[in-house]
Amino acid sequence: MTITRIAHGVATHGNTLTLDTTGANLLVTWMCCFTTLDTMNENKSNGAATTLASQTAAGDPIGRLSYWLGSLNVGTSHVFQASSTNTYGLYVAAYSGVQAYDSNVVGAAATTGGTTAGPGTIDAPNNNSLFIYGCAENAGTAPTSDTSFATLDNAALSGGVIYGSGFFERIEIGDAGSLTPTASWTTSAAHRIASMATFSPSVGGGVTYPQLERFGHRGAFRGMLHASPYPVRRSKGGVLYRDVNLARAA
């Protein structure tokens, strides 16, 4: 199954965000806070979100990705709100066709002037994965990502309203390899943070590792690509894997 974006949006300080999340089984959030992290609340009774590693630039800002994944209560008038008044930028994106959370990386927080921020490098373990990252800064214009990522939402710094911040995505077609995105803006900001996560597609869009078995090495088993009756579905670092389900059916 292919990962598909359902909805996305951003809310400023003290405001709620309302989305139509019908059909989604993943909700990802990026919160940009001052001094103390808030938690994310929503009105469809999905319980507490899973929180990932936070990143702070001396508390101004401090940010964190979180998510809900699985059989969720979704639909029209889905309301998202920060737990208190520490949040100055609340981003949410909803997706369908997602099977699992893979990994998270946070970039080195910067506390000197600059016009870029990046979360670091991730190589998703599965084809057709979702990469999503957020950034925040305390002085700049609205950030945009390099061309490998699409901008979901972004905002320029507005005092007492929202950090300079943005939320960006890439849905792989095949294997994109290692990705190291960078967000940039035009006015130097002393404090800058970014964080990224990856999610795997449901079976059919990409094969996840619990369904793979080591098949050989590309250099040592070059001829087996043609001789084997089992479809080779994945090659990472020269190691070949085959789809166990397809092998059993052969």
Measure CA of the first residue to CA of the last residue in the chain; give whole Å: 22
| Nearest alpha-carbon partner for 34 in 168, 142, 196, 165 | 165
Lowest mean pLDDT among 16-30, 100-114, 195-209, 231-245: 231-245
- What's the half-sphere exposure (Cβ side, CA atoms, 13 Å) at 55? 29
153, pLDDT greater than 60: yes
Which structure tokens are listed for 190?
Answer: 């002393």
Domain boundaries, the chain: 4-201, 209-249
Q: How far apart are CA 11 and CA 22, in angstroms?
A: 20
Contact 141, 185 (CB under 8 A): yes
Q: Are strands 4-11 and 192-201 parallel, antiparallel or unpaired?
A: unpaired
Contact 37, 64 (CB under 8 A): yes
Whether omega before 61 lies within 30 degrees of 0, making that bond cis, reads yes
- Predicted confidence at residue 204, as pLDDT, reads 58
Which structure tokens are listed for 57?
Answer: 């630039």
Q: Mean pLDDT across the stretch 186-214?
A: 75
225, pLDDT greater than 70: no
